[in-house]
Amino acid sequence: MFEDKPDILSIGEVAEILNVSTMTLRRWDKEGILKAFRPSMTKQRRYHKKDVIDFLKSTPETHKKPKSRRKLTPFP
């Protein structure tokens, strides 16, 4: 699965691999769930392939389920 991938992955590549949105990856980075790095002087997030593999080996199902941020109330 990862043999053909480079050692450094873009946010889009990681989103595709993990089947999540780039916004989810940005949130995970901010929350420390899957940390990205920014190479010299750029604001673009990059991920080490090893970190993504380690993330997949950990409990991925706990991170893929979205948390409800708002409490929805039914219409009367």
Q: Is 28 strand, coil or helix?
A: helix
Q: Please state, in angstroms and rounded to a whole number, the distance separating the CA atoms of residues 30 and 22.
A: 12
- In this prediction the pTM is 0.70
pLDDT surpasses 80 at 60: no
Tokens 């010299």: give the residue.
Answer: 40
Q: Once rounded to an integer, what is the mean pLDDT over residues 71-76?
A: 65
User: Which one, of 37, 32, 41, 40, lies nearest residue 10 by Cα?
Assistant: 37
Q: Which domains does the chain have, with CATH numbers?
A: 8-61 (1.10.1660.10)
Other CB atoms within 10 A of residue 31 CB: 10
**Over the stretch 11-59, which tens digit does the pLDDT of each residue have?**
999 999 889 999 999 999 999 999 999 987 878 999 999 999 899 888 6
pLDDT surpasses 70 at 72: no
Q: Collect all residues with Cβ–Cβ distance below 8 Å to 30 and sequence separation of at least 6.
A: none
Amino acid at 26: R
